[in-house]
Amino acid sequence: MASNRLAQFRVFGKKIVAVGRNYKAHAEELGNKVPEKPIIFTKPTTSYLSQGHPIKFPPGCNDLHHEVELGIVVGKKGYQIPEEKAKEYIGGYFVALDMTARDLQLDAKKNGHPWTLSKGWDTSTPAGEFIEKDKITNPQNLQIWLKVNGEMRQNGNTADMIFSISYLISFISKYMTLEEGDVILTGTPSGVGGLKGGDVIEAGIGDVAKITFSVDKS
C-alpha cells in the first residue's frame, strides 16, 4: 500500500469489519460468555475520525465507552483465504478506537437487535495513521494501551487474543471478500469504561504508534 494517509482507508476502505469479545478478560468484565467462534459486525466508513477532531456522543447516549483495538489494513483482495496464507493479506496496521454507546448497545442486546447504531455513528471509529507492515515484526505480541486524562485504563497484549489475526482473516474471508483498504478491528482488551465531555484519550501500540482524541458532549 503506497500512501500512509488515513484518507487512503476512505478511498479504498469499502468496509470496516470488527470483532467482538476477542479477549477473555473483556468478555468477562461485561458479563458476556467467552465466544467459541468470532463475533463479527461491521461499521460504516463514515464513522472514521482523524486526529484533531472530537469524538461526539451519539443522540440518546449517556454511557459512551472507549475500546482501544489493533486495526489491520487489508493489503490485497482475497476470498476464502487459508489461515496459513493470511499474513500475505496484511497491508499494514493502525491504532483504532471502537467507540461504543454502551447504553444503546445494552438496549439492543436486550431486544435482540443489531449493534449498528451503538457502534456506527459518525466519529465512532477514531483512527491513527497507517503503520507500514514491516514496522511491526510480531503483531501477536504488542502492548495495546489507553489512558483517559493521563490515567491508564486499558493495558493489554495482543498475545491474549482468543482468535489470532490469521484466524480472523481466514474466518471473515470465508463469508465476504476482503479488498485492499478494508480494515479489521481485532477486539478490545479489558478496562473499557465511561467517558465524559472534555476527556482526553491517548492510546497506542507499544511505542510504535500513539493517538490522541478529545471527547465532546455538546
Ligand X SMILES: CC(=O)CC(=O)C(=O)O
Name the site residues for Mg ion (rule: CB under 5 A).
Answer: 67, 98, 188
Q: Is 154 in the site for ligand X (CB under 6 A)?
A: no
Nearest to 47 by CA among 73, 81, 9: 9
Q: Given phi > 0 = left and psi -120 to 50 = alpha, else beta, which region is 206?
A: left
Cα atoms in the Cβ-side hemisphere of radius 13 Å centred on 191: 17
With contacts defined by CB under 6 A, name the span among 20-28, 43-51, 73-81, 153-161 that binds ligand X: 20-28
Q: Is 67 in the site for ligand X (CB under 6 A)?
A: yes
Q: Is 26 in the site for ligand X (CB under 6 A)?
A: yes
Least CB distance to ligand X at residue 17 (A): 12
Least CB distance to Mg ion at residue 21 (A): 8
Strand partners, 121: none
User: E strand or H helix at 157, and its extent?
Assistant: strand 151-157
In the DSSP assignment, the letter for residue 171 is: H
Question: Of these, 45, 100, 158, 190, which contacts ligand X (CB under 6 A)?
Answer: 100
Binding track over 163-202 against ligand X, x by CB under 6 A: ------------------------xx--------------
Burial class (CB in 10 A: 0-12, 13-18, 19+), 110: exposed
Least CB distance to Mg ion at residue 67 (A): 4
